[in-house]
Amino acid sequence: MTANDRPLGRPSGQQPKPYESAFLKACRREPVPHTPVWFMRQAGRSLPEYLKVREGIPMLESCMRPELVKEITLQPVRRHGVDAAIFFSDIVVPLKAIGIDLDIKPGVGPVVAEPIRTRADLHRLRDLTPEDVWYVTEAMGLLTDELGTTPLIGFAGAPFTLASYLVEGGPSRNHEHTKALMYGDPQLWADLLDRLAEITSAFLKVQIEAGASAVQLFDSWVGALAPADYRRSVMPASAKVFSSVASYGVPRIHFGVGTGELLGLMGEAGADVVGVDWRVPLDEAARRVGPGKALQGNLDPAVLFSSREAVETKAAEVLAAAADLEGHVFNLGHGVLPTTDPDALTRLVAYVHEHTAR
Ligand code: 1CP
Give the Å distance between the CA of 90 and the centre of ligand 1.
6
pLDDT of residue 335: 97
Give the Å distance between the CA of 108 and the centre of ligand 1.
10
Residue 14: band (very low, low, confident or very high) from pLDDT cuts 50, 70, 90: low
Q: What percent of the chain has pLDDT over 70?
A: 96
Q: With a threshold of 0.85, does the pTM exceed it?
A: yes
pLDDT of residue 340: 98
For the CA of 39, the nearest atom of ligand 1: 20
Question: What would the 3-class secondary structure string for the chain be?
Answer: CCCCCCCCCCCCCCCCHHHHCHHHHHHCCCCCCCCCECCCCCCCCCCHHHHHHHCCCCHHHHHCCHHHHHHHHHHHHHHHCCCCEECCCCCCHHHHHCCCCEEEECCCEEEECCCCCCHHHHHHCCCCCHHHHHHHHHHHHHHHHHHCCCCEEEEEECHHHHHHHHHHCCCCCCCHHHHHHHHHCHHHHHHHHHHHHHHHHHHHHHHHHCCCCEEEEECCCHHHCCHHHHHHHCHHHHHHHHHHCHHHCCCEEEECCCCHHHHHHHHHCCCCEEECCCCCCHHHHHHHHCCCCEEEEEECHHHHHCCHHHHHHHHHHHHHHCCCCCCEEEEECCCCCCCCCHHHHHHHHHHHHHHHCC
pLDDT digits (tens, 9 = 90+) for 144-194: 999 999 999 999 999 999 999 999 999 999 999 999 999 999 999 999 999
Q: Tell me if residue 165 is catalytic.
A: yes
For the chain, which domains are there?
Answer: 17-356 (3.20.20.210)
Asked whether residue 15 carries a pLDDT value surpassing 80, the answer given is no
Q: Which of 45, 231, 232, 279 is catalytic?
A: 45
Q: Is 308 marked as a binding-site residue?
A: no
Q: Tell me if residue 279 is catalytic.
A: no
